[in-house]
Structure 1
Amino acid sequence: MTQPIRLGIAGTGRMAARMLRALKHDPDVTVTAIASGDGARARWFADQCGVAEATGNLTDMVQNEQVDAVYVAGRTRDHAAAALQSVKARKPVLVEKPLALTADQARTLAEAARESDCLVMENLWCLALPAYLALRDQLAGGAYGSPVHLHFDFGYPVQPENHASLFDPDDGGVILDRAVYGVALALNLLGPVTDVDCNAQRNDRGVDVMADLRLHHQSGAVSHVAVALNALMSNTASLACTHGHLGLGAPVVGAEVLTASQMLPAAETEARPGAQVGLTDRIRAWPRARKIKRKRDMSAGRFLGYGADPYLPVLTHFVELIRGGQRESGLIPLDLSVSTLEILQQARGRTVEG
């Protein structure tokens, strides 16, 4: 019987707790250690979660023989340094998004991972969801033509007292925390970006709480990524293509519904003067029929479930990479993570107050 991967978690905050909840549904991973800069906090957190080992020294955890791999779940500003320690210890590491605070940090981490032949993967977990994979496969199949425009929005209001790190001027803000999902998807579907525009609203501490990013792709396509910490958005994704449309239903971060529609050629009779009115035209002229069709279209969509927890697909992928001796993910490659962070950094730097 294959033994579970023994995972050490670096961090004791909200994301560490969230990952532990997901891992309860994954028999292929067991958490064996917790690390935090505060040893007492690490011990308390470990006790709450039923984990035997706890330490206030990350180096001790990554060198622990009872730890096979590491999940970095601390503050964004600490992601790169913590991941580098894991790389030095030759321990595969799953890093919470964003991969680092700056693009330079991300590039340094990627270079170290490749030089050490050590697996480093960003936890862009949405890209592993069945609905996201199906969206990518449908687009690649060619039936919907070429993608020309992506609209992605992700927003719901949260309060600073409950999410302090999101509102920290140093490494918080909606661009780093939420735009990362839309930008990664845009790169994944539409390819490299040549120009970035961004409008944002900031609070009285200078933290971006709402942002609209417009990405111009090398292919000529355009992506619009809207995110918010202070408003409820539609939380959907819409991909317009030359021969149809593909979409992800709400909640877009955790989507389980894929919608698809193809643009069929118009019937020749529509262009002929004096053509007889057919059954389709008569049905279109009936308001009740249009209402029924509208309700049917609104409920349409292919359900693609992720199982007991939305993090399970990415955890399964991470475990498969470790057991297969892989040094990089083809699904969430380091180049994608670095490019995503480059765009986020540009957006933060080019922000025009909205």
Structure 2
Amino acid sequence: MRDASRSGTIARRRTCRTEAGLTDSNIEANIEGTTIRWGIVGAGRIARRFADSLIHVEGARLAGVCSRREETAQALAGAFDARAYSDFDAMLGDIDALYIATLQDSHPHYALRAFAAGKPVLCEKPAAVNARALQEMIDAARAANVLFMEAMKPPFYPLYRRLRAHLQDDPIGDIGLVRAGCSMANVPLDHPSFSLEAGGGALLDIGIYEAFLAVDWLGEALDVQTIGRLGATGVDVFASLNVRHERGIAQLFCGLDLQGRGDALIGGTLGTVTIHENWWNPARATIAYTDGRKIELDEPFAGGGLNYETAHFCELLRAGETESPVMPHATSMRMIAIIDAARRDLKLRFPFETD
């Protein structure tokens, strides 16, 4: 019965793709179980981490790397027996799925071209610098009937999944508080995080993680109050947010010029959860109950950590899905809505943003 259901899903997806004029036989074969050929656009640190993690994903391999700098594309591709491309559209013709690892201001540019070619996209966070650009990406993915997911890694880690399961069986009551933050004082001044032209700043580079945690446990944000500082380049170098959600309050911070802890706290009526630093690469958590009990969870992660979200994406692709139930489009929209509101409070606008 399961095989019949899956065949029906694949058939429906093929019909939709045919109606949309996106009959890529390679992707159809891939859905049925062959090795997924990944392409990466961008060849920096996060691209290398993705390539390292991909080794740990069964039934997937790196097939291509595209970068504006030919030497960096060749270096990354050569390390993983992949092909280097200078032409993005040429790479799209040779891959089954795309990972976008460029600076965030360019994410929509590459994603929209991939969707037009009928290619599914896993896009590094933040998927877009504002809600309007993200909605355009979501609409394009839906119109093309292809899979699109923001690469928000924490919910796919073994520790996070184990924590979710534990709290189902032994809850900490009604959860109404999320407190999370990270600030790093050693970010070099020539890092893209300090570039106003590239859509940098602490909120988008770091705060998007905290926004995810708050949305994941407390739901949609209803009110955002932000204080912070803009640096010499015009981006936010520190921001502190108080956010009222559907189910509680979040206290979040992020920064580029101070050193701050990277743990997180989830508070309920019957106890608390502390996800120890660095909470966005979760490996250890402590659950403290009001009755005096204390539970320690320890789940080391394998590979570079990005393998878990990538394996999930591959499973969705093979099943013919176009949206993740773990990291759905609605969650991405709720996250960026918090960042948009915080930037408005700080009067932070990027030169490329239009009304």
Cα distance in 2 between the residues matched to 1:178 and 1:129: 18
Letter in 1 for 2:326: L
TM-score if structure 2 supplies the norm length? 0.83
Q: Give the counterpart of 2:253 among 202, 226, 247.
A: 226
Displacement of 1:236 after TM fit? 0.7
Verify: 1:244 aligned to 2:275, yes or no: no
Q: Which residue of 2 aligns with 1:319?
A: 314
Larger Rg belongs to: 1
Q: Which residue of 2 aligns with 1:60?
A: 90
Q: Which residue of 2 aligns with 1:168?
A: 195
Displacement of 1:318 after TM fit? 1.2
Cα distance in 2 between the residues matched to 1:2 and 1:110: 26
SS at match of 2:129: coil
TM-score if structure 1 supplies the norm length? 0.83
Q: Which residue of 1 aligns with 2:329?
A: 334
In the alignment, structure 1 segments of 5+ residues that lack a partner are 266-295
Displacement of 1:52 after TM fit? 3.8
Cα distance in 1 between the residues matched to 2:275 and 2:91: 39
Q: Are residues 193 and 8 of structure 1, via their aligned partners in 2, closer, same or farther at CA, if it must alter by over 3 Å? A: same
Cα distance in 2 between the residues matched to 1:21 and 1:142: 36
Q: Are residues 303 and 142 of structure 1, via their aligned partners in 2, closer, same or farther at CA, if it must alter by over 3 Å? A: closer
When structure 1 is superposed on structure 2, of 338-347 and 15-24 the one drifting more is: 15-24
Letter in 2 for 1:211: A
Q: Are residues 172 and 204 of structure 1, via their aligned partners in 2, closer, same or farther at CA, if it must alter by over 3 Å? A: same
Cα distance in 2 between the residues matched to 1:139 and 1:201: 37
In the alignment, structure 2 segments of 5+ residues that lack a partner are 1-31, 349-355
Q: Percent identity?
A: 27
When structure 1 is superposed on structure 2, of 49-58 and 238-247 the one drifting more is: 49-58
Q: Are residues 118 and 165 of structure 1, via their aligned partners in 2, closer, same or farther at CA, if it must alter by over 3 Å? A: same
The answer to whether the 8 Å contact 1:169/1:207 transfers is: yes
Q: Which residue of 2 aligns with 1:159?
A: 187
The answer to whether the 8 Å contact 1:33/1:46 transfers is: yes
Q: Give the counterpart of 1:261 among 288, 306, 309.
A: 288
Q: Give the counterpart of 1:134 among 162, 169, 172.
A: 162
Displacement of 1:331 after TM fit? 0.5
Cα distance in 1 between the residues matched to 2:184 and 2:256: 6
Q: Give the counterpart of 1:100 among 128, 132, 146.
A: 128
The answer to whether the 8 Å contact 2:229/2:346 transfers is: no
Q: Are residues 304 and 50 of structure 1, via their aligned partners in 2, closer, same or farther at CA, if it must alter by over 3 Å? A: closer
The answer to whether the 8 Å contact 1:306/1:313 transfers is: no
SS at match of 2:208: helix
Cα distance in 2 between the residues matched to 1:52 and 1:242: 52
Root mean square deviation of aligned Cα: 2.3
**Number of residue pairs matched by the alignment:** 316
